[in-house]
Amino acid sequence: MTRHFLRDDDLGPAEQAEVLALAAKLKADRHAVQPLAGPQTVAVIFDKPTLRTQLSFAAGISELGGYPMVVDGNLAGIGTRESVADVARVLGRQASMVVWRTFEQSRLEEMAAYAGVPVVNALTDEFHPCQLLADLLTVTERLGDLAGRTLTFLGDTASNMAHSMLLAGATAGMHVRVSGPEQFGPDDEVLAQAARIAATTGGSAAYVVEAGAAVEGADVVATDTWVSMGKESEAGQRLAPFAPYSLDAALLAGAADHAVVLHCLPAYRGKEIAADVLDGPRSAVWDEAENRLHAQKALITWLLAHQDDTGEGRR
């Protein structure tokens, strides 16, 4: 059975913990393993803008002994010039793994169905699971064990980041609160799935409309741009409803004294986060950005080593 990482709950609790432990090991010794020695090729495809994801996958694949074959998805015309299924069949004969940043989750699911090699979600409209592995690694470094910690996300709770926070945080046994305007609430299925996972890990998952209540006593406070990729035309009309969720010093004061601030970047100071919070002592955003590299290297290594497993995740 080919194991993929298409959404956060493709890893069960023990599997997620294995990946995070391996990430910490690879951060301490960046060349400890070379599962792609040869070099084996990994196709890394981008249909959307990128900086950290391209850098971290390219560097990480190289450090694992492989060759990152970066493909401009718009030039390739995946799903327009050629069907996703046909592209998948070709890629699976050229590469040992496919990493894809694209739009609908269904495109990624189709790629996984036909590629015959592991497929990794480098961001879709629905989920951003590699970012969450980096986030959880960062929280572990700052606070230790994840289980029982309270993770609050402020902003667009209908976004891929909010959905991944719910699933990955619940898998880690955290108490996850996502908070944003009612017209931008989380997907009901994702929230319900996070609650089901949390029931097995001792965590919880909740949608909390009022920002102050969501932040109260939190160990981790995360936010993201109010305007996700593809929503640029809505930028002006989003300012007013999202303003109460801007993470400033006054709102952060309600969190625990040791609270860690996360932002997956790019950040817009003065909008979703105040400059003195993003650049302040509680911010872990630069460690978070670096940890994309270590977390993704661990994920690639783990997937290559577990291709015959049935897995404890959702499938």
Asked if 151 contacts 168 with a C-beta cutoff of 8 angstroms, the reply is no
Q: Residue 9: phi, psi to the nearest 5?
A: -85, 15
- Is 156 labelled a binding residue? no
Residues catalogued as catalytic? 101, 128, 131, 224, 264, 292
* Omega before 129 within 30 of 0, i.e. cis: no
- Is 264 labelled a binding residue? yes
The Cα 119–Cα 99 span in angstroms is 6
- Is 224 labelled a binding residue? yes
Helix (H) or strand (E) holding 252: helix 249-252
Type of residue numbered 180: G
* Omega before 39 within 30 of 0, i.e. cis: yes
Q: Is the dihedral of CA 13, 19, 21, 27 positive or negative?
A: negative
- Is 292 labelled a binding residue? yes
- Is 303 labelled a binding residue? no
- Is 128 labelled a binding residue? yes
For residue 207, the SS3 value is strand
For residue 121, the SS3 value is strand
- Is 129 labelled a binding residue? yes
- Is 101 labelled a binding residue? yes
Strand 97-101 with 260-263, pairing: unpaired
- Is 131 labelled a binding residue? yes
Q: Is the dihedral of CA 222, 218, 129, 124 positive or negative?
A: negative
Which residues make up each annotated binding site? 101, 128-131, 160, 224, 228-229, 264-265, 292
Which residues make up each annotated binding site for L-ornithine? 160, 224, 228-229
Which residues make up each annotated binding site for carbamoyl phosphate? 101, 128-131, 264-265, 292
